[in-house]
Amino acid sequence: MSPDPTKVWFITGASRGMGEAFTTAALAAGHAVVATGRNPTAIETAHAQTDRLLAVRLDVTDVDEATAAVDAAMERFGRIDILINNAGSSFKGFFEEMSPAQVDAQLATNLVGPMNVTRAVLPVMRAQGSGHLIAISSGAGLVGFPYSSVYAASKFGLEGWMGALRHEVEPFGIHVTIVNPGWFRTGLASPESLIWPDVTVADYAERSAAQKQWWQAQDGQQSGDPVKLAAALIALTDAHPPPTRFVAGEDALALAERKIADLQADIDAYRELSASLSVDQPLER
């Protein structure tokens, strides 16, 4: 398969981690990139100067900044072919330890933020009659883990929204792909990225301390290579048609297969009862 001609990528959370790797890979492949983040200077510093790179300030929770970033992209390049909704945060804590403000903040960044950016980009793609929306979800969008319940809520929400959006935008020639990365060596587990609970609940204290210690030990130990994930994304965007989902990493594959097996077991265990609930079924007594 030969690569497509130059495309315009719009990447959120591009100042570090996966976003930086995606930006590097897209530029190396000859594409133009609108690399967005809260610190556009850091984006410019991380990459060689080229007229194919536009670094733009974008806090995805700010609707006006999303609109302004898309306007800047259109002024510079005249189109947007690929949107990578990558920006995110990870709040850690048992649910009862998370304050309402923290719940709101987690959903604002990981769910409403991608909605803000996608809402700004979709009119461009509809007018073009083409486009590719890619959402960076997580293994936690497939399976919920303790101490990450609010994070999982944001990723499960992202998946439900994107799954439905796919059918809404398909008639306009717009494709949708959900990416479920496993455990990749990014800054997500770094001290400056981990966000701990606001609330202390005595019944969780011992387990919470153990979870904090575990998470703090993970930085730099993850098995996944962001550079290889970025190369995979280049391949996915050249596929015709692209996949609706890409499970990234051996650990993520194991999670996905576990999810399938658990769902099938639940279906099989209560299949007869599940099938007996229509109005024309006689009620068993």
Strands 8-11 and 82-85: parallel
Say what the pTM is: 0.92
CA distance 185 to 257: 22
- Residue 57 and residue 14: Cα distance in Å, rounded? 10
Question: Which pLDDT belongs to residue 3?
Answer: 44
- Considering only CA atoms, give the Rg of the chain: 20
pLDDT of residue 193: 66
Cis link prior to 282 (omega < 30° from 0)?
no
pLDDT value of position 150: 97
Q: Give CATH for domain 8-249.
A: 3.40.50.720
CB burial of residue 126 (10 Å; 0-12, 13-18, 19+)? middle
Tell me which amino acid residue 121 is.
V
Question: Residue 263: what pLDDT?
Answer: 97
Residues 6+ away with beta carbon under 8 Å from 214: none
**Cα gap 202→200, rounded to integer Å:** 6
User: Averaged in consecutive runs of 10 residues, what is the pLDDT profile of the chain (285 residues)?
Assistant: 71 93 96 96 92 97 98 98 95 96 97 98 98 96 95 97 98 98 72 82 96 82 84 95 95 95 98 92 66
CA 122 to CA 217: how far, in whole Å?
40
The catalytic residues are 137, 151, 155
Which pLDDT value is given to residue 221? Answer: 67
Q: What is the pLDDT of residue 222?
A: 72
